[in-house]
Amino acid sequence: MSIESMQCLLHSALRAFLTLLFATAAFAQEPQNLTIMGSTASWPTGRVTFVSETDVDGLRIRHTRVEDADCGARDFLEINGPLGPETTAVIEPFLSAMQPCGSNPARGTVILSSGGGAMADGYALGELLTQYGVAAALVQGQVCASACVAAFLGGSPRYMLESAWLVLQSPVRRPGIGIDCESTQEVTALKDYFVARLGSENGGVLYERAMSNCTAARGWTIQAQDGVELGIVEADNTPFTLQLADGSLNFMAENATRAGVITTTSGLQYEVISRGAIAIAQSPTASSRVTVHYHGTFFDGRVFDSSVERGRSAVFPLNQVIRGWTEGLQLMKPGDKFRFFIPPELAYGEAGRGPVPANTPLIFEIELLEIGGAN
């Protein structure tokens, strides 16, 4: 190795160490949201810790740890942004900090979202992932292009959720990204890498398909089912999704089996706490204005909104609230007090709102005071 190469390597390693050191020191001081970088998916409410994070030339890297009943915690590494010559040096300290899950020797899972970079940098990152024995995954909304595809193939096993994309891009519109179809050296390197990662059969098929789409202006897009057929990803994502699953999702399924809990056709669950004194009273309609007291919590008991704690009842039209409330209060009569378990699709869904993260079920204790009421 030349002196210049040695100096470059030492510089990269030092930079990686310093960025990791300073990022870790500052990381805990900044509030974090629960969105997985580069995706539309979220980490589980109340079970995630952001260990450290850095940003190098637009590449964001975050070490995330999720509480797990089987082994205490599972480690994930989120990678979002363009891959470059220093990527492997920056990422390696993060990989070495990831811990195996119980007796499982694997160090965790790398979640990738990247528009690509030079293929050589993708090969290098893929080899690093293989060296550390980590899994690779793409979650909802993520795109992994060109060099990122090469890096992704270095993980084992590999998971790909719906609405994620692998893209092998043409270099015609974006120089430096993708494969130069006229370069024997680059084409040979691509084939050798695919075969090394996927075996001669699947690697050969992927190579032939990649080359047949090599000059396509938009490249070649691979979705989850295509990835399964090509042997790129696992057919069953369950082992991965169980690691990510918010306990609240399991909570809804388990809660439905409890005595006294009623589940409607929409998926709304409720139980009666007490009934009002007037059994023949009318229930509100979807357009009624109602006066209520309510107490809203997450499945783990944390309060996010409560008229009870504010000491003041709330008045609103039922057609201007979340669907779970609109449906649920029409089951009540004045004086009734119910507990509702509202799935995300009947609450704030994938967007979330205020203190409520995306894809979060909610629990409300609601007392219907009267139909009508002044603002």
Residues 6+ apart with CB under 8 A from 32: 50
pLDDT of residue 231: 92
Could you confirm whether 278 is annotated as catalytic?
A: no
Asked whether the beta carbons of 107 and 133 are under 8 A apart, the reply is: yes
Of 125, 127, 100, which is closest to residue 114 (Cα–Cα)?
125
Could you confirm whether 17 is annotated as catalytic?
A: no
User: In sequence order, which ranges of the chain are alpha helices (DSSP H)?
Assistant: 3-27, 87-97, 119-132, 147-152, 184-212, 224-229, 238-244, 247-255, 307-310, 323-329
Q: Which residues, in sequence order, are bridge partners of residue 35?
A: 42
Q: Which two tokens stand for residue 15?
A: 């930079």
Asked whether the beta carbons of 112 and 134 are under 8 A apart, the reply is: no
**Which residue type occupies 364?**
F
Of the residues 121, 348, 366, 371, only one is catalytic, namely 348
- CA distances in angstroms from 142 to 47, 80, 161, 206, 247, listed in the order given: 22, 9, 9, 21, 23
Of the residues 94, 207, 298, 364, only one is catalytic, namely 364
Q: Which run of H or E residues covers position 167?
A: strand 165-168
pLDDT of residue 249: 55
Q: Model confidence at 21, in pLDDT bands (50, 70, 90)?
A: very low
pLDDT of residue 251: 75
Q: Do domains 3-244 and 247-371 have the same CATH topology?
A: no
Of the residues 68, 251, 305, 316, only one is catalytic, namely 305
Q: Which residues, in sequence order, are bridge partners of residue 135?
A: 109
What's the mean pLDDT in 201-224? Answer: 85
Q: How far is CA 146 from the centre of its chain?
A: 21
> Where exactly are the structural domains of the chain?
3-244, 247-371
Could you confirm whether 322 is annotated as catalytic?
A: yes
Query: From CA 192, how far away is CA 256, in angstroms rounded?
Result: 52
Question: Cα Rg for the chain, rounded, in angstroms?
Answer: 26
Least confident among 47-56, 86-95, 167-176, 227-236 = 167-176
Please spell the DSSP secondary structure of 131-151, one letter per residue. Answer: HHT-EEEE-TT-EEETHHHHH
pLDDT of residue 27: 41
Angle at alpha carbon of residue 72, lines to 71 and 77, rounded to 5°: 90
Of the residues 322, 336, 342, 366, only one is catalytic, namely 322
For residue 232, pLDDT beyond 90: yes
- CA distances in angstroms from 176 to 117, 123, 179, listed in the order given: 7, 14, 8
Q: Which residue do the tokens 């295509």 mark?
A: 226
Q: What is the pLDDT of residues 256-299, one digit of tens each?
A: 889 999 999 999 999 999 998 877 789 999 999 999 999 999 87
Of 69, 97, 100, which is closest to residue 243 (Cα–Cα)?
69
Q: What is the pLDDT of residues 146-203, one digit of tens each?
A: 899 999 999 999 999 877 899 886 554 455 566 777 788 888 999 999 999 999 999 9
Residue-averaged pLDDT of the chain: 84
- CA distances in angstroms from 73 to 65, 98, 135, 245, listed in the order given: 6, 10, 16, 13
Could you confirm whether 55 is annotated as catalytic?
A: no
Asked whether the beta carbons of 168 and 147 are under 8 A apart, the reply is: no
Query: CATH second-level architecture of 3-244?
Result: Alpha-Beta Complex (3.90)
Q: Model confidence at 114, in pLDDT bands (50, 70, 90)?
A: very high
Query: From CA 331, how far away is CA 319, in angstroms rounded?
Result: 15
pLDDT of residue 374: 61
Of 84, 76, 34, 29, which is closest to residue 55 (Cα–Cα)?
84
Asked whether the beta carbons of 314 and 294 are under 8 A apart, the reply is: yes
pTM, full prediction: 0.62
Q: Which residue do the tokens 């919590």 mark?
A: 297
Query: From CA 352, how far away is CA 367, in angstroms rounded?
Result: 24
Could you confirm whether 304 is annotated as catalytic?
A: yes
pLDDT of residue 19: 42
Of 274, 314, 280, which is closest to residue 294 (Cα–Cα)?
314
Could you confirm whether 338 is annotated as catalytic?
A: no
Domain 247-371 falls in which CATH fold?
Chitinase A; domain 3 (3.10.50)
Of the residues 27, 251, 304, 316, only one is catalytic, namely 304
Asked whether the beta carbons of 122 and 93 are under 8 A apart, the reply is: no
What's the mean pLDDT in 25-43? Answer: 62
Least confident among 46-55, 89-98, 120-129, 166-175 = 166-175
Least confident among 124-128, 206-210, 294-298, 325-329 = 206-210
- CA distances in angstroms from 76 to 11, 42, 51, 97, 143, listed in the order given: 27, 13, 10, 11, 18
pLDDT of residue 176: 56
